[in-house]
Structure formats: structure tokens, C-alpha cells
A and B are shown apart, each in its own frame.
Chain A
Amino acid sequence: MTTVAELPAFGPDPTPEDAPFWEAAAEDRLVLPRCRGCATFIWYPRSFCPQCHSPKGVEWVPASGRGTVYSFTVSHRGMGPYSEHAPYVVAYVELEEGPRVLTNIVGADLDTLGIGDPVTIVFQPAGQSKVPRFGPA
């Protein structure tokens, strides 16, 4: 079992485009960009909608932080600073709002973890902000 504090966390290098995401994460809040034209939630965050390319742009809205495991892998190797933390879980989590995001599952039993498991967000300090990882709901 990997606890959230055990995994290395590298600070993001926020751009003007994704800064709102990292400012919210620093306060333990998940926000997602949503298209003002077609209301699609956008991932990864960017300043326009790759779905409909609406000129109305995007707005940042709070997300639930709940999701389910879409796929996962238990890394037994890890590279660089991660090598000493193996085994740990890299996963795609499907957020309630729709996007499937690349993240880690922490605090889960590796023998029973499965696709479809409900998970909830945890924020781990990383540089000037925090990165979103997920634990069992």
C-alpha cells in the first residue's frame, strides 16, 4: 500500500493557460475548464474547446473530485526518484464530469484494486502548488 505522502511530487510549471487549475489545487480544490459554447469539460486544461472551437472560450468550474478507475498499472520498476517507491499505481481516473485523467491511486490495496472502483481526490504538495492524486472513496 502506498500512502499519498510517499510518492515524489514535482511541482508543475504553471502557464498562463493552466494557472487557474494550479491556483485552485494549491487550495485543495479541483477546477476544470468547461466550454462556454458546448458545455464540454476539457482535459487537459487549455484556453479553448478542442471539441467545438467556440469563440466564447472556457470558464473554470468546481469539480466533485469523485471518479472511478478507468485503467491502472502497478509499476514494479519506477524510474528516477520513483524507483525506490515501487510498487505504486499509475492510473487513468474517469472523473464524474467526464474526462479521464492520468494520475496515481494511493492508499489502495494492490491485491484488490480494480477497474471501476470509486475513488476520490487527494491533493499532495508539489512545489508552489499541489498535484491531484486519488484514493479509495
Chain B
Amino acid sequence: MTIRGKAFIAGAFEHPGRELPDLSVSQIHAEVAAGALADAGLGFGDVDAYFCAGDAPGFGPLSMAEYLGLRCSYVDSTETGGSSYVVHAGHAAAIAEGKCQVALVTLAGKPRTGGAYPGAAGRMANAPESNFERWQGMPGAVGGYALAAQRHMYEFGTTSEQLAEIKVAASLHAQHNPDAFLRKAVTVEEVLDSPMVSSPLRRMDCCVVTDGGGAVVLVSPEVARDLPRRTAKVLGHGEAPKHTDNGRIDLTYSGAVWSGPRALDEAGVAVGDVDYASIYDSFTITVVETIEDLGFCAKGEGGRFVSDGALVAPYGKLPFNTDGGGLCNNHPANRGGMTKIIEAVRQLRGEAHPPVQVPDCEIALVHGTGGSLGTRMGSATLILGREDA
């Protein structure tokens, strides 16, 4: 069974807050849920399916469905890190199976003012790899991505200047977004002058840490028909967790090599048809490997591909992350998958900030990354089309 054309994103909402010390994580979930439902022209009483991931407090959907006052015939709490929400949008294929009509997906967190969400440390404590991967002093998430970047540079000649081009493109977009955490346009030189965090990645190769959240509402074609709002059509979805493969880990590619083709096949579109791409940008290297693995360029060519403004909207070869992305706009709960979906919906509705709106945007690709690049990572790709696509 294919989900092509059987579910529509009718509502999308990004929390405007970047520092929310006075809200609980549950409250942020509720605010984004209300925002996305209002955007769709629906209410909490219409929701019959709920999706959340590891950022949700308590017992996931059991705690949150109660808190939000939802009555559901379907829940899913697939947890694949920051890619979770892209997975959820694909799993709303349950709509196609007739299991539900209105699916709500929420993300919320406050790593900036509230510390890491509870539970993450506990989850890792009993991981089977824990004895072998916790005493090396890995400097947080950046360490794993730095190891991938170093190897990618070694094998393909990717340079720090090329990585910097990604931050530059994101910053050019962010200057048009009044909510973006970092709104100043930066140059390649400024990125290269920023302090080294975990070689070869510098501070400006890293995404921001922000509070906030977002939500989307997926509906059946029948529900979509009666809504006043423009929608985005779900065309295809693919997911592919990647792991260290019995110690034969290869850090130069991501799970996108599998999730991308699955999503594109289901959608019946080719990479050349993609007008806009939301590419998970936890770190600059994440973008390089992902665009290679999705097939926007050959393996190893990602560094060269992103040069010369290729990613800059609206007229680059591949306009990406027009909200400023995780590198400049926000990365709520340290998980960027949700905001990737939201900006793609804005592009397809023609509601992105005018200077970065891609003209006649018909097909958008969303890619989510979770965990650590090339190591133990979630990977999910979603293809969305304009309502009439």
C-alpha cells in the first residue's frame, strides 16, 4: 500500500519562543498543538491519532494524550532522535489504512533554559554499547559529527570552507526570519574564525540550542476537502535507521542512502523534481552527507555542490532551510525534524518569508536525522507536494 495522496498536512505551527523559562515542556506541547490545530481550522476534539517522541514527558502518548485531553484510536511514539517527527508524518499512513482521520504530531522542549529533557541519560545507561562508549569523553553530539567530518574530508577532500558555505546560506535565510535565534548574515571567513569546538567542526558549524517546539496536523483527503486552508500533500516516506554494523562502521554516509530512494519511489518523483529541500542541519557536515546520500550529487561531491550559493533561496540549485534551519533559526529540544516539516509546508503553501519563497514551489523534500551521523542514527525522508501536485 502506498500513502501517496492519502494524507494531507493541513496544519503546521512553530513556537515563536526560543527561550521559555516560564513554560513547562507539557505546556509547550499544548501551545504548539493548539497552534497547529487552529492553523488547520480544527479543534482538539477532532484529533483521533497522536504522535510524539522521546521529548514528550512521562509515559509518552499515554501521559500526553491525557494532558492534552485527546481521545485516540491510534498512537505512535517511535523514537529515532531528531528524525522522529519525519517518521511520524510517514506513519500517519495509518490514515490511508482508515485507522484515523486527524493525526496530531507534537515536539517540545527547553534544553536552553531547562537542561536536557529527563530520561535521555537513563535510556543510555543500559544501552548494550554503554560499557564501550561512555568513557572516551565524547564532547556531546558534536564529537560524533566531527568524527564523520574528519573522515569525509580525508576520503573526499571536503574542506572547512565548503562546510562554512552551508552556515552562510542558512544565515542569509535567517536574516529574513524575525523569530530566528541568530539573524545576522555571516561570511565564510567569520565561520572559519569561530572557535574550534571538536576538530574539524567550529562553533559556527554547530546548530543552535533553543527552547520551543512545533506541531503538524495530518488529515485524510475527506477531512482536507472541507478545510478552508491550503494543505500539503504527502507523497512518499522512507525511513532507515543505520548502526555501527558490527564494528564495520563507515562514517562517510548516512541512512539517507536508503530512506531517500524509498521516499522518492513511493512519491514517484526524482531528485531533479525537488524545488525545495528541508535538510536536517544539526551540523554543517550533516548537510553535506545528506545531500550526497539523497542523490542531489555524487558521493564525495557534497562539498563542491554547496559552494557558490547552491543552497541559497530562492535561486540556488537547491534552495534549503529557508527559515534559517537548525544552524540559525532554532533546534527545539535538540531535535530539528519537526521544524523541517513546517518550513516545507510553508514553501508549498507559498507562505515562506517573501525574499526566500521559492517561486512556484511544487515538490518539497524533508529529511530528518537523529542520533549520531553514520553511527547509531535515525534517518527519515518525506516527500511533500503542493495541494494540487
Please list the residues of chain A having a beta carbon within 8 angstroms of any beta carbon in chain B: 7-10, 12-15, 17-18, 22, 40-46, 50-51, 70-79, 82, 85, 88, 90-92, 98-104, 115, 126, 131
Q: List 28 A-B contacts (CB under 8 A).
A: A12-B132, A17-B128, A42-B247, A43-B246, A44-B129, A44-B244, A44-B247, A45-B132, A46-B128, A70-B151, A70-B251, A71-B147, A71-B151, A71-B154, A73-B139, A74-B198, A75-B137, A76-B195, A76-B196, A77-B197, A79-B139, A90-B137, A90-B198, A92-B249, A99-B246, A101-B132, A115-B151, A131-B135
Contact for A102 among B136, B142, B200, B201, CB less than 8 A: B136
Per-residue contact bits, chain B 182-204, to A (CB 8 Å; 1 contact, 0 not): 00000000000001111111000
| Size range of the chain B interface in the assembly | 20 to 34
**Residues of chain A within 8 A of B200, CB atoms compared:** 73
Pair A73/B248 contact, Cβ less than 8 Å: no
Pair B151/A42 contact, Cβ less than 8 Å: no
**Residues of chain A within 8 A of B244, CB atoms compared:** 43-44, 100
Question: How many Å lie between the Cα of A22 and that of B131 in the bound state?
Answer: 10
Question: How many Å lie between the Cα of A22 and that of B130 in the bound state?
Answer: 13
Question: How many Å lie between the Cα of A13 and that of B148 in the bound state?
Answer: 28
**Residues of chain B within 8 A of A12, CB atoms compared:** 131-132, 135
Question: How many Å lie between the Cα of A99 and that of B249 in the bound state?
Answer: 8
Q: How far is the CB of A70 from chain B (nearest CB, A)?
A: 7
Instruction: Tally inter-chain residue pairs, CB-CB below 8 A.
Output: 117
Pair B136/A104 contact, Cβ less than 8 Å: yes
**Residues of chain A within 8 A of B148, CB atoms compared:** 71
Instruction: Judge if B122 is at the interface, Cβ distance under 8 Å.
Output: no
Quick one: given A13-B131, A50-B246, A75-B143, are A8 and B137 in contact (CB under 8 Å)? yes
**Residues of chain A within 8 A of B142, CB atoms compared:** 77
Instruction: Judge if B123 is at the interface, Cβ distance under 8 Å.
Output: no
Q: Write the chain A residue with the least CB distance to B150.
A: A71
**Residues of chain A within 8 A of B147, CB atoms compared:** 71-73, 90-92
Please list the residues of chain B having a beta carbon within 8 angstroms of any beta carbon in chain A: 128-140, 142-143, 146-148, 150-151, 154, 195-201, 244, 246-249, 251
Q: Write the chain B residue with the least CB distance to A35.
A: B246
**Residues of chain A within 8 A of B134, CB atoms compared:** 10
Pair A103/B247 contact, Cβ less than 8 Å: no
Question: How many Å lie between the Cα of A114 and that of B154 in the bound state?
Answer: 9
**Residues of chain B within 8 A of A7, CB atoms compared:** 137
